[in-house]
Amino acid sequence: QFLLLAAISIPCLPRLPVLGSLPWLGGGLPPHLLFSQLAHRYGSLFALHLGPHYTVVVNDHRHAKEVLLQRGRDFAGRPNMVTTDLLTRGGKDIAFADYSPLWKLHRRLVHNSFTLFGEGTSRLQDIVLSSVDSLCAELLSGGRLGFDPSPAVTRAVTNVVCTLVFSATYRHGDAELQEVIRYNDGIVQTIARGGLVDIYPWMRFFPNKSLRKLKDSITVRDRLLTRKLEEHKASLTDGDPRDLLDALLKGQTGKSPGSEDEGITDDHVLMTAAEAFGAGVETTSTTLLWILAYLLHHPEVQDRVQKELDENIGSERAVCMSDRGRLPYLDCVINEGMRIRPVSPVLIPHTAMTHSSIGGHSVSPGTRVLVNMWSIHHDPQHWDKPDLFNPDRFLDNQGQRVTPSCFLPFGAGPRVCVGESLARLELFLFLSSLLQRMSFRLPDGAPPPNLQGRLGVVLQPLPFKVVVTPRAGWEGGAK
Ligand code: HEM
C-alpha cells in the first residue's frame, strides 16, 4: 500500500507555462484562508506551482508533524528569495538561511545566548518587568477616553529586545527608539509578502517601490546596528556577557567541524541582532494585541483571569515567572490567543533537502513546503467550535493544563522558533501584570474589535480602542 501511495502524486492545482497555478490563486483571500478553502476541494495535502516552483501545502497536523518533526531534517531547508536575501546578506541569519553545518552552529550559538539571559537567571525577567512598569504607566495615563493600545505595546516589546540585544533602554519618545520602530515597520511591511519578485527573481531589475522601501529600511537598520556592534567590540571584556551582542561576539570563535567556511562572521552577528527585532517584536506585540482584542469581546474571560490573579497573587506585589504554576487559566488564555489567531498563519517556507515523503507520497529534493498553521489550529476534527475563543479547551476535567498535539504555535523540530522561551516569558509577564493592575473595556458606544485581521508579515488585528481603568492598589501603575 505504501509503494502504491508513493507512486501517486499529491493532488495538484492546474498550471500554465511561466505562471504556474497563479491564475487559480486569485480572489483576494490571504494565503491561509485560500489554502484552507482549496483543502476542501483538493484534500488537506495538495500541491500548486508558484510560478516555476512546485510547492506542497500541508493543512493537517499529522502531515505537519511529519514535515517538522519526524522527517524534520529532510525538510529543514529554506528557499532562496530576493527579499530575504537582501534582508539577511544572503542568509547570514537563522530564519531564512538554508540548512548547513554553519547554520547549525549559528543556531546553537543563538540558542545558548538566549538561554544565558533567559532560563536560570532573572536578568530577562528584570528586563521585561521594567518594561512592564513603563507600559502600565503609559496605558494608565491614556485616560478614560478610548485610545489605541498598539503603539505603547509595540514600544514596550521593542524596548525589551533593545535591552536584551544591546543593553539600551529608551524613554518614551526617544529618537533612537523611534528610528528602530520605524525601520522595523518598513521591513515588516515589505518582506516575504509573497510578492512576485520572490517568485520571479528577475523582476528585481525593474523599478519596484516595495523593494526600494525595503532597501532604505535595511540601510537605516545596518547603520544603527553596526554602530552598536563596534561599540560592543571596543568595550568587550573577559567577564560575563552584558547582552546578546556580547554573547555572540564571545561565541564567534567556533567553526563548524570539518568545514572550509569562515565560521560565525561579524555579518552573522549583525544579522542575528537584526533578526531578534524582525522575528521578536511584531510576533510578540501582535499576540498581546490579539489577546486584548478577544478580552474586549469576552469580558467574562478578563474577569476570570483577574479573579485568579487576586486569589493567588493579590495586589501587594508584582507578578513574577515563578507564579506561572499558580495561574493556569492565564496560561490557557495565552494559548487560546495563539491558537485562534496564529501570528504566522502560514509558516516560513521549508524546502525538501533530499528525497522524502509526506503522507506516504514521495517528495523530490527542492520541493517547497508550506505548513498552513491556520487550518491546523481551526480543524473542526480536533477543535470543538474552532472559531470560538474558549481558553477552557486547554484544561482537562480536573482543571489541569493540557497541550493538544495539534497545537503548534512555535512550529516544531529543527526549525522550531528559537525565541519560544523568550516569547512565552514576555507574554506571561506582560499579560499577567496588565490584568493585575488594570481593566480593559470598550469605549462607550464603540464596536468591538474586528477579528478578521490583516495579513502583513504577521496576521495583525485592525486598530481598536480601549478604555483603561486602574485596579485597586495600582493607581500609579507600579509599586
Ligand atoms: C521561527 C512563532 C517570537 C525568533 C518561528 C516560526 C514560528 C514562530 C511559527 C517558524 C517555524 C518554522 O518555520 O517551521 C513565533 C511566535 C512568537 C515568536 C508565535 C511570539 C509570540 C519570537 C521571538 C524571537 C523569535 C521573540 C527572537 C527574539 C525566531 C527565529 C525563527 C523563528 C530566529 C527561525 C528559526 C529557524 O528557521 O530555524 N517563530 N515566534 N521568535 N522565530 Fe519565532
Give the chain's mean pLDDT: 89
pLDDT at 398: 87
Q: Computed from CA positions of residues 81, 77, 25, 377, in that sequence, does the dihedral angle turn out positive or negative?
A: negative
Residue 417 annotated in ligand binding: yes
State which ligand 1 atom lies nearest to the alpha carbon of 371: 14
| Calpha distance 215→244 (Å, rounded) | 25
Given ligand 1 and candidates 68, 112, 283, which is best to mutate, with the most ligand atoms within 8 Å of its CB? 283
Q: Which residues pair with 468 in a beta bridge?
A: 440
pLDDT per residue as tens digits for the range 267-308: 999 999 988 888 889 999 999 999 999 999 999 999 999 999
Q: Which of 292, 417, 424 to mutate to test the pocket of ligand 1 (most atoms within 8 A of CB)?
A: 417
Q: Grid coordinates representing 145?
A: 477616553
Interval 234-257: pLDDT, tens: 998 888 888 889 988 988 865 555
Ligand 1 neighbourhood includes 347 CB (under 6 angstroms): yes
**Cβ(157)–Cβ(163) under 8 Å?**
no
pLDDT digits (tens, 9 = 90+) for 372-387: 999 999 999 999 999 9
At 263 the pLDDT is: 84
Predicted structure pTM score: 0.93
Mean pLDDT value of segment 16-39 = 90
Of residues 259 and 470, more confidence is placed in 470
Q: What is the pLDDT of residue 254?
A: 53
* Residue 371 CA, ligand 1 centroid: distance in Å: 14
Parallel/antiparallel/unpaired status of strands 356-358 and 454-455: unpaired
Q: 422 CB less than 6 Å from ligand 1?
A: yes
Give whole-number Cα distances, 428 to 119, 328, 410, 436, in Å.
14, 11, 15, 12
- DSSP helix/strand/coil, 465: coil
Q: Ligand 1: does its nearest atom lie under 6 Å from the Cβ of 344?
A: yes
**What residues are paired with 58 via a beta bridge?**
45, 371
Rounded distance between C-alpha atoms, residue 235 and residue 71, angstroms: 44
The response to whether residue 79 sits with its C-beta less than 6 Å from ligand 1 reads no
Among the listed residues 427, 395, 409, 391, the one whose alpha carbon sits nearest the alpha carbon of residue 298: 391
Contacts of 30 (CB under 8 A, 6+ apart): 345, 455, 459
Distance of CA 352 to the CA centre of its chain: 23
Q: What is the pLDDT of residue 49?
A: 95
Check whether 190 has a pLDDT greater than 90: no
Q: Residue 85: pLDDT band by 50, 70, 90 thresholds?
A: confident
Q: What is the mean pLDDT of residues 83-111?
A: 90
Give the number of other CB atoms < 10 A from CB of residue 405: 10
What 139-142 contacts at long range (C-beta under 8 Å, 24+ apart), as own/partner pairs, is: 139/434, 139/438, 139/468, 139/477, 140/437, 140/438, 140/468, 140/470, 140/474, 140/475, 140/476, 140/477, 141/477, 142/466, 142/468
- The CB of 285 under 6 Å from ligand 1? The reply is no
Strand runs labelled E in 166-293: none
- Radius of gyration of the CA atoms of the chain, in A: 23
- Superfamily of the domain at 79-281+407-470: Cytochrome P450 (1.10.630.10)
Using DSSP, state whether 122 is helix, strand or coil. coil
Amino acid identity, position 404: P
Domain positions in the chain are 79-281+407-470
Q: What pLDDT is attached to residue 260?
A: 57
Atom number of ligand 1 nearest to Cα 103: 38
Q: Measured from the CB, is residue 93 less than 6 Å from ligand 1?
A: no
Ligand 1: centre distance to CA 417 (Å): 4
C-alpha cell at 31: 494565503
Cell numbers that stand for 167 in this block: 543593553
Verify whether ligand 1 is closer than 6 Å to residue 411 (CB atom): yes
Q: Which of 297, 282, 309 is nearest to 340 (CA)?
A: 297
For 455, list phi and psi in degrees, rounded to 5. Answer: -95, 115
Where do we find the cell 507520497?
361
Q: Which residue would you say has higher pLDDT here, 112 or 40? A: 40
ipTM of the complex: 0.98
